[in-house]
A and B are shown apart, each in its own frame.
Chain A
């Protein structure tokens, strides 16, 4: 009954033409969110529903957005340019002049220093990146120098990435009386220097922002931005189908099986956006028999990515056969490939590894644990079947997200679906594959990789780094601590006529963060 009504609703939406905003009529965009912000002070806690309002009200020193999938690892927001010293231990940022906070006061280097000093002192979430900052100097009002404890080539891209979430630049003159960013009059009435200004927050209901006419890059095309909590995915979809929402973010992605029908609808744009993450499996090397390389090779040979793509994603995702994702462009080592699909070879390798099929037909048992992602679950259901075909008695086990994460950190798993990161800087390899790396849940340890990765991390010679990361990818596809399966892909729905969203190419490198709406063009504008 439900799909039929939904189909009716979709049909109804066909009839609705994309409405253009006449001049003089405010162009409003309503953005649904699965939950409400806890506060409007994004710097002090990892509050995923505050990232949206925060990213549009506040500016950042440097930013990045989905343009990362086309190779932009960081661009200046308040920073006009930056330069790293020869020893790699100081980064000097020149700031744009004539940038003003929404209360009219100028944005200066002192605001940047104040914000970052507070984050470091209070150990707020972006401390993860800023912990390498030893001292912040302000030689003049429009120059800020970050002195690093250790040289770190990926520092600016990592700062840009963490800024999209929790390193917004706060006005010093309004916050200095507070202990941190946790209270005071601007906690829930933020004054920033971003393209949109805060208007009101109706607790439990909407957060309303309006265009900042004095924004230094020019007034946004959008007049009004409304964040509205909608916890139920089906309700948000019904609102979109009824034409009352113009934008359905990927948190509300429709089932991929519906995509062909949606694509036939001329009033709807289906946008696929790649990312700098993959969807892959991690193998726990501390658990026999996964400690044997031949067994990991056999598992890699047992996987048919094309079949998995059809079954899990309606054939709409892009399989990944390299130890990277397509968005990494020149950093991909295209000659380093994971073992290809070959069931016979898989069985042969397992036989040779001393794991023949026993009387009941099984060689050994493994548990496959996906995190609480729709895509991982769909993939792992297929993986289990594919492993069973070569005699590996695989079974699926699911946990809530917090439990799954804890088990990963405790290295308590056999095979887990995972989301390996490759950008904004390829130094990301270290986090996943270097001995003791923060996300090396596989207990993988390779002396050569450790050495060269550490070297690449501080090197500023791009050709040298490229060579090293090529070698790292060779090591990874041969040692197989993980097996890459797909390029991650987000699905977003837009009403025709709307353009410039962060997830579209027209919004790349000018959206100012993952959550920025600065580049959005309403129909008729």
Chain B
């Protein structure tokens, strides 16, 4: 019962959060200099035609009126039509969600799993050569710009040693169903997932290493060891569980960003996801698409933080909801 009330309350909080996000984004987009109608009207528009375009898209209305109209429209569940395709924004966004979820989700899960495992493993002997080497490597990895690293992967694995595809999600003449289709997509995922992971895995290594090392210094671990539990049980059952909280926090934050996609990675690897869509929409000042994407993202972040809090409570009985 208490849980249900808690969840309900948190969901209600989404409303003001979303409202603030909309107003803020609307403000920011309209503060940006430049004229959308010039981009919409095309190559050889004259001033008379520009005025027509402004009228057609409601760009000639005062700012507050535009904002009010937009809010009313969003309240009725309509994110509007894309300026460029004249198609519903919600449909355009939902169409891109699976590709992004697949790419960013996979790399996130792999990063957490591998990062935590490596971090826990080196935490056993803090200060050893191995620890220093891995920690140094981890810092180095998350300092690498992802688009550069992606490009290097492409040059190495598609040009020098051409064994993997560099772009898109499927092969031109590949299978369109069955296990062959799944394998084709998996092959296309290798490089972008590797690029994304490389950057985020270091973070989890550092995080897991620090918090596991901290926990290992606590009295209860000494007690557990004194009882004579094997080291593996000490690490996995006692140390790791207690050390996981910060990892879950960071994972929760990043989970919220799953839908923002990976703009740079998706661009380099021509991945058909949300990130690339937002990038193109921003370049073209397709305001309804940008706004729609921001709303969806902010809801995901809010949702992810709710899930994180619930997981927290499950992991640590001391946390009361």
List the interface of chain A (C-beta within 8 A of B). Answer: 2, 5-6, 8-9, 12, 28, 30, 35-36, 38-39, 44-47, 123, 125, 127-128, 131, 161-162, 165-166, 182-183, 202-206, 226, 228-232, 234-235, 238-239, 241-242, 399-403, 405-406, 409, 431, 438
A403 lies within 8 A of B34 (CB): yes
B279 lies within 8 A of A402 (CB): no
The CA-CA distance from A327 to B63 in the complex, in Å, is: 46
B86 lies within 8 A of A45 (CB): yes
B82 within 8 A of A: yes
In the assembled complex, how far is the CB of residue A4 from the closest CB belonging to chain B, in whole angstroms?
A: 10
Residues of B near A44 (CB, < 8 A) are 86
In addition to A204-B272, A238-B154, 10 A-B residue pairs with Cβ atoms within 8 Å of each other are A36-B276, A45-B85, A46-B43, A47-B85, A203-B272, A231-B270, A232-B270, A239-B166, A402-B285, A406-B34
B25 within 8 A of A: no
B296 within 8 A of A: no
A230 lies within 8 A of B35 (CB): no
In the assembled complex, how far is the CB of residue A179 from the closest CB belonging to chain B, in whole angstroms?
A: 11
**Partner pick for A205 among B40, B84, B160, B168, CB 8 A cutoff:** B168
B87 lies within 8 A of A30 (CB): no
In the assembled complex, how far is the CB of residue A12 from the closest CB belonging to chain B, in whole angstroms?
A: 7
25 A–B contacts, CB within 8 A, in A order: A2-B151, A9-B159, A36-B276, A38-B87, A39-B85, A39-B87, A45-B85, A47-B85, A128-B44, A204-B96, A204-B99, A204-B169, A205-B168, A205-B170, A230-B270, A232-B270, A235-B154, A235-B167, A238-B154, A238-B158, A242-B159, A402-B36, A402-B39, A402-B285, A409-B38
The CA-CA distance from A161 to B42 in the complex, in Å, is: 13
The CA-CA distance from A229 to B267 in the complex, in Å, is: 9
Number of interface residues of B (CB under 8 A): 52
B77 within 8 A of A: no
B46 lies within 8 A of A128 (CB): yes
Residues of B near A241 (CB, < 8 A) are 159
The CA-CA distance from A234 to B285 in the complex, in Å, is: 24
Highest count of chain A CB atoms <10 Å: which of B40, B85, B170, B271: B85
Residues of A near B35 (CB, < 8 A) are 402, 405-406, 409
Residues of B near A229 (CB, < 8 A) are 168, 270, 272, 276
Residues of B near A226 (CB, < 8 A) are 172
In the assembled complex, how far is the CB of residue B174 from the closest CB belonging to chain A, in whole angstroms?
A: 11
Please encode chain B, from 260 to 278, with 1 for each CB lying within 8 Å of some chain A CB and 0 for all others: 0000000111111100100
A38 lies within 8 A of B84 (CB): yes
Residues of A near B214 (CB, < 8 A) are none
B136 within 8 A of A: no
B280 within 8 A of A: yes
A242 lies within 8 A of B272 (CB): no
B159 lies within 8 A of A228 (CB): no
Given A123-B52, A182-B86, CB of A405 within 8 Å of CB of B34 = yes
B45 lies within 8 A of A128 (CB): yes
B20 within 8 A of A: no
B58 within 8 A of A: no
B155 lies within 8 A of A123 (CB): no
In the assembled complex, how far is the CB of residue A29 from the closest CB belonging to chain B, in whole angstroms?
A: 12
The CA-CA distance from A95 to B39 in the complex, in Å, is: 34
In the assembled complex, how far is the CB of residue B172 from the closest CB belonging to chain A, in whole angstroms?
A: 6
B49 lies within 8 A of A128 (CB): yes
The CA-CA distance from A206 to B35 in the complex, in Å, is: 31
Please encode chain B, from 136 to 161, with 1 for each CB lying within 8 Å of some chain A CB and 0 for all others: 00000000000100011011001110
Residues of B near A162 (CB, < 8 A) are 44
In the assembled complex, how far is the CB of residue A64 from the closest CB belonging to chain B, in whole angstroms?
A: 14
B231 within 8 A of A: no
B170 lies within 8 A of A46 (CB): no
Highest count of chain B CB atoms <10 Å: which of A46, A183, A202, A403: A46
B41 within 8 A of A: yes
Instruction: For B45, give the chain A residue with the smallest CB separation.
Output: A128
B78 within 8 A of A: no
In the assembled complex, how far is the CB of residue A372 from the closest CB belonging to chain B, in whole angstroms?
A: 10
